[in-house]
Structure 1
């Protein structure tokens, strides 16, 4: 099995971002709560996820999550097109967030990743 990345990404609305900062934890978006886990994407999957699930929305934020900090709560499971996606079977603590920024795209239309610092 190939080595999975240690960082994955979650797209949050402004209200969800505010709640994460205020509460120090994020229980999940409605789709996460319905499915029983928090959906994340790798860097390579992020733009497709945004295009598919957040089209036309503004005031979005990208949160970089340290998967190693979440330990056994992270499971890699097949989803879209048979790709493995990281899912968190727990609330997302702010302590596992290593960077976040408003969602922006580069000149090629790819979602830019937040940079810690």
Structure 2
């Protein structure tokens, strides 16, 4: 099973849980789709857009469960990134865990599968 990843603030995720669906963070709403990263992209995404931020969650999502609303599109450096053109149903969420900062000040992705 292929997982894709969303980095989101705890407050945004908790609000989504209360609403029963995740429609996206502010950047997603502005762009018209929910930004995700593949396993080999998420660490760079964290460094580029979330450097030094605490109070974050790493949400693992079953890519196959998203159907045709998930599109892999060229983005940073021409790499294909997963973009979801629909609200994220919690049924597709495989795992949610805190995204902690390591001693080096970078986010710790040691729990990601190899």
Cα deviation, residue 56, structure 1: 2.0
TM-score (norm 2): 0.87
1:7 is matched with which residue? 3
2:109 is matched with which residue? 111
User: Which stretch shows the higher mean deviation, 105-114 or 74-83?
Assistant: 105-114
Count of aligned pairs between the two proteins: 111
The answer on whether the counterparts of 1:8 and 1:41 sit within 8 Å (CA) in structure 2 is yes
* Unmatched 5+ stretches in structure 1: none
* Unmatched 5+ stretches in structure 2: none
Cα deviation, residue 27, structure 1: 0.7
TM-score (norm 1): 0.85
Distance 1:74 1:26, change over 3 A: same
Cα deviation, residue 30, structure 1: 1.0
